[in-house]
Chains A and B, each alone.
Chain A
Amino acid sequence: MKFTLVVYGAPHASEGAATALRFARALLQSDHGIYRVFFYGDGVHGGSALSAPPQDEQNLLGQWQELQSAHDLDLTICIAAAQRRGVLSSSEASRLEKPAGNLADGFELAGLGQLAEAAAVSDRLVTFGG
């Protein structure tokens, strides 16, 4: 089955953010596929390259990036939610006259239309956090 995961939970703040990652991994280890992981609300912090958890804690950003490069995952961050919360690509940062971009490699900024499209084409849509 084709799944879309919608993540509202902020990393290292809401368990939902970590559960989404484990769920994604479980899907990829089974016969299921992931159409898209859509980060919305506070979940957009999951795409911040500046996340720096202590070494003895799980590194959600690094794990998402590993999963992304191993499976060519579509990790989409809602651009409107991200701008409010300060997750910007370099080009967005320069367009908005902010000092720096911080969007992590492996993540893409896109509009809410990507959520609507994912809902239309996925067999299952599962929400984490919020």
Chain B
Amino acid sequence: MPQSKSILALCRHAPYGNALAREGLEAVLACAAMDQIPEVLFINDGVFQLLEQNPEAIGEKNLRRNLQALPMFGVETLHICKKSLEDRGLTPDQITVAGAELKFLDNPGAFIANFDQVLSF
């Protein structure tokens, strides 16, 4: 199906506290697989998804694998809210995702307003 609408996926939840973090990334991959390639913005506690994780300690699958699959599905740029990082004592240099370009946004509101559809996870 040709992409007729611009789509943004907001990742707002920390990786393991709520299933929406995992299910959000699954939805992003499903959209991309349908050629409806969304942009992705990590905001609020969602920025914690971008850090290295050790979820085996709590019996969870590592969500970083889904994250690292994004560039292979055509989601090559990950947008990150700069203020959300700062509010949580994080800095941009703590974040690396193989194969993805990282863009740190000062004004996520203006960015979000550009899209036809927003999927909020």
Contact = CB atoms under 8 A, between A and B. Distances in A.
Does more than half of chain A's interface fall in helix, strand or loop, or is it mixed? helix
Contact of B20 (A84, A111, A130): A130
Main secondary structure of the interface of B (DSSP, over half): mixed
Interface residues of B, number: 20
Given A40-B23, A42-B19, A130-B20, A119 B30 contact: no
Could you say which interface size class chain A belongs to? 20 to 34
Contacts, number: 58
B27 interface: yes
Contacts of A8: 20
Contacts of B120: 127, 130
B73 to A, nearest CB: 12
Given A41-B20, A42-B19, A116-B36, A121 B4 contact: yes
Contacts of A81: 19, 23
A41 B19 contact: yes
Given A80-B23, A115-B119, A121-B4, 18 more contacts: A40-B23, A40-B27, A41-B19, A81-B23, A84-B19, A112-B31, A113-B30, A113-B33, A115-B27, A116-B36, A119-B5, A120-B4, A120-B5, A120-B34, A122-B117, A125-B118, A127-B119, A130-B20
